[in-house]
Structure 1
Amino acid sequence: MGQFSSSRRALVRLGVAGVGAWVAGCAVVPQPAKPRVVVVGGGWGGLGAARTLAEGGQVAVTLIEPNDAFMSCPLSVHYVAGFTAASDYQRSYANVDRAGIRRVRARVTEIDRAGSVVVAGGERHPYDFLVLSPGVEYIEEAVQGYAAAREQLPVGFRAFEQQAVRRQVDAFLERGGEFVITVPKPPYRCPPAPYERAFLIAEQMKRRGTKGKIVVVDANPNPMPPPIAAPIVNAMKSVYSREIEYVTNTEVSAVDIGRRVLVTPTGDVRFTAANMVLPMRAPALIRQAGLGERWAAVRLPSFQSQADEKIYIVGDAQGTPLPKSGHVAFGAGKQVAHDIERRVAGQPAPAASGAVTLPAGICWAAVTHNEAIMINVAASVEPGQAPKLSFQVDPKHSLASGQGAQQWGESMWNQMLG
């Protein structure tokens, strides 16, 4: 009797909010709530983190994403140029929901580093750890007059923006003229993308007999980064010499939408249609939270914010020399998920000694609808040193790489959303 009374008193001390109970004559040991991880952004980096954390089961995961579905930017050039349907690159978040991830359809407007994020409408979502994968925003003020011409000159480098560029391409292929594609100085999202857009639109010109040309106005002396320059230029000359005019070392300073000209130091460039790929930076959210200026400042190899050890930044918003590509973003998301799991388990950080492998980058530059250039980037970092990148690039486009690109895409989408 005395033993029972003592046990009962112990239960009362635990409280009445479900932290202790008697079941079949046995006391249930109270379990602490799981640490809360909020992931901002349902793209490649955010899904890499959220799915990995959900599989581990050590934390409660909330994914905040304004779109109600996923659309891949990688490989969507085939849709932009009119070869495939948009649905080929879109996926439902249904399996994300089934994985036990709490998904909130909203746009984050503020980060309170005391431990919560605020979404449009004012709702707060508390976190113990925060993973940011918010993508990029365009530096519109870099080109005078662009803001007034935004609706007529879509960039299309963010999910679901591709439709607006597709409409431009369709109209150009119907009537002809001069289709101008601009390339900014790096860093920007997916370096080969402006060139592959030019290639696939040029392929459609050949197929349809469209009169006119594509003018690629590049702020750089060659396609960037340098290891991809030779095969890109070779494709321009060998496959599309009649359709593409390549202008280098020419930065666009202004657009006059009324006269339909781009202003450059060497003179005006006239256009019938234009796909202006603007300079890019991390979204304003990064600056609002004091996490960086143009790009988020992170520590490698952990991708932790230099300003706040509870915050990780992955994907294109992070400011390291790593390629701004979907594959790198996904790998970094998985990596930070494992680091959060390590910290939740109370395990020490690995001792820093020698080179540490960073997330690899696999990218495919489409030259035709069926052929591509494979770009494989390996990266590592040693304590106190800058990351080292090693490129393996196809010397020439091939059918094998075109097939490899499609297989890679299906595999990645399945890992994120299957």
Structure 2
Amino acid sequence: MSVPVTSRRHVLQATALGVAALATGCAAIGGNTKPRVVVVGGGWGGLGAVRGLLAAGAADVTLVEPNESFMSCPLSAHFIAGFQPASDFQRSYARVDQLGARRVRERVLEIDRTKREVVTGTQRLPYDFLVLSLGVDYMEESIQGYAEARAQLPVGFRAFEQMAVRQQVDEFLVKGGNFVISAPKPPYRCPPAPYERAFLIAEQMKQRGTKGKIIIVDANPNPMPMPISKPILNGMKSLYSAQIEYMPNVDIRAVGMGKRQLNTSDGDIPFAHANLVLPMRAPALIRQAGLGERWAAVKLPSFQTQADDRIYVIGDAQGTPLPKSGHVAFGSGQQVAEAIAERIAGKTPVVATGEVDLPLGICWANVTHSEAININVSSTVSPGEPPKLKFTVDPEHNARSGAAAMSWGTGMWKAMLG
């Protein structure tokens, strides 16, 4: 399947508040009178915003990202399971630098909304508009004893954390035993990912003759989201009945590394290795800035925060029913970049009066290294109503979607960093 990464179905219409005229004057940097836009987070959403802003040429753009390079979480299960090297999913930020973004390799400690400044360990970055693409944080307190066991039980749902999970998988494939993978209740980043990891590790078990099993401990009654449940369960049954044990409706309460045992609502489960996918929330910066609690409170279709119309939150930290996926994050970043450029140009506000398309979600769940399930999510929103989501899902895994998944990833990485 060919996916044009630069096309978007959504119509850019925002509330009157969202596109209100700029306050008098934007401060200058070094004599440059362009408005200043700071983008925090160099992942899928942040890069969508940066590339869109640089293309528009209407602002001075600063990207704040502590990592020196980019690593994709989407598709990285192929690395975690040992099918592909990490380098296949890594890219340099060199192109962003060449296009004129100022890149600050630091962590943000605070957002000062009163002064409109982003505070790092060494500087205060003034902004006229702020785009936050912060990703997710883990709710470690949800499982008793997890915080103490963190180093031994990596989650691997943030960039570069996949390396630690890969080490666990490599050891398991040699030694065998019980490998537990958990799936929390939504919302969390990339709901198909726990099942995808289990599938690809199980494929390696079959190829290498590993003695043991993968136990999926699912807090949900079925694989999530519901539209993918049937093809996911079919993959377990048809390909990995000897390798995967599926335990739905089971909550993990505590972890004991001494006995290597999980205490669950269905009794104790011994394990040799475990990849516990924890419940998630937006990073603490959202709460520090007063932009929301578990997730950032935003307005659709603009992605402006409810607390501050000069701040946009995109990607997985925003609190709407939209899928927490890379494709939605990138599309949201592009949309926000265009909206900011229109605000800078002083264009007349357009108030949405009917149904508006939101960024398209495209996702893939690999069942084998070469076969996948394609998941498309189209979303719309009407004034005063919650978003409506429509899923289109492959009825079963297939080689066509397997090939399209990697082609999609390559195209998206080029759009971000090529």
- TM-score per shorter chain, which class? over 0.9
Question: Shift of residue 266 of structure 1?
Answer: 1.7
Instruction: Give 1:195's aligned residue.
Output: 195
TM-score w.r.t. length of structure 1? 0.92
Aligned partners of 1:118 and 1:351: how far apart in 2?
34
CA displacement, residues 2-29 of structure 1 (integer Å, 9 cap, x when unaligned): xxxxxxxxxxxxxxxx9xxxxxxxxxxx
Question: Shift of residue 327 of structure 1?
Answer: 0.1
Question: Shift of residue 317 of structure 1?
Answer: 0.1
Higher RCO structure, 1 or 2 (CA under 8 Å, sep 6+): 2
Instruction: Give 1:120's aligned residue.
Output: 121
Q: Secondary structure at the match of 1:359?
A: coil
Instruction: Give 1:324's aligned residue.
Output: 324
Aligned partners of 2:248 and 2:328: how far apart in 1?
28
Instruction: Give 1:231's aligned residue.
Output: 231
Aligned partners of 1:314 and 1:149: how far apart in 2?
31
Q: Secondary structure at the match of 2:358?
A: strand
Question: Shift of residue 32 of structure 1?
Answer: 6.4
Matches within 5 A, 1:1-400: 33-114=33-114, 115-121=116-122, 123-400=123-400
Instruction: Give 1:408's aligned residue.
Output: 408
Q: Secondary structure at the match of 1:217?
A: strand
CA displacement, residues 23-58 of structure 1 (integer Å, 9 cap, x when unaligned): xxxxxxxx9600000000000000000111001100
Question: Shift of residue 367 of structure 1?
Answer: 0.3
Aligned partners of 1:128 and 1:381: how far apart in 2?
28
Q: What amino acid does structure 2 have at the position aligned with 1:87?
A: S
Q: What amino acid does structure 2 have at the position aligned with 1:334?
A: Q
Note the aligned Cα RMSD (angstroms). 1.0
Aligned partners of 2:309 and 2:339: how far apart in 1?
12
Return 269-278 or 343-352, whichever deviates more: 343-352
Q: What amino acid does structure 2 have at the position aligned with 1:113?
A: R
Question: Shift of residue 120 of structure 1?
Answer: 2.2
Aligned partners of 2:228 and 2:415: how far apart in 1?
28
Aligned partners of 1:94 and 1:190: how far apart in 2?
27
Q: Secondary structure at the match of 1:337?
A: helix
Aligned partners of 2:290 and 2:253: how far apart in 1?
29
Q: Secondary structure at the match of 2:360?
A: strand
Aligned partners of 1:56 and 1:154: how far apart in 2?
40
Structure possessing the higher radius of gyration over alpha carbons: 1
TM-score w.r.t. length of structure 2? 0.92
CA displacement, residues 252-281 of structure 1 (integer Å, 9 cap, x when unaligned): 011011110111122001100000000000
Q: What amino acid does structure 2 have at the position aligned with 1:367?
A: V
Structure 1 vs Structure 2: percent identity of aligned residues? 68
Question: Shift of residue 350 of structure 1?
Answer: 1.8
Aligned partners of 2:316 and 2:283: how far apart in 1?
10
Question: Shift of residue 351 of structure 1?
Answer: 2.5
Structure 1 segments of 4+ aligned residues over 2 angstroms from their partners: none
Aligned partners of 2:219 and 2:213: how far apart in 1?
19
Q: Secondary structure at the match of 1:331?
A: helix
Q: Secondary structure at the match of 2:331?
A: helix
Q: How many residues end up aligned between the 2 structures? A: 388
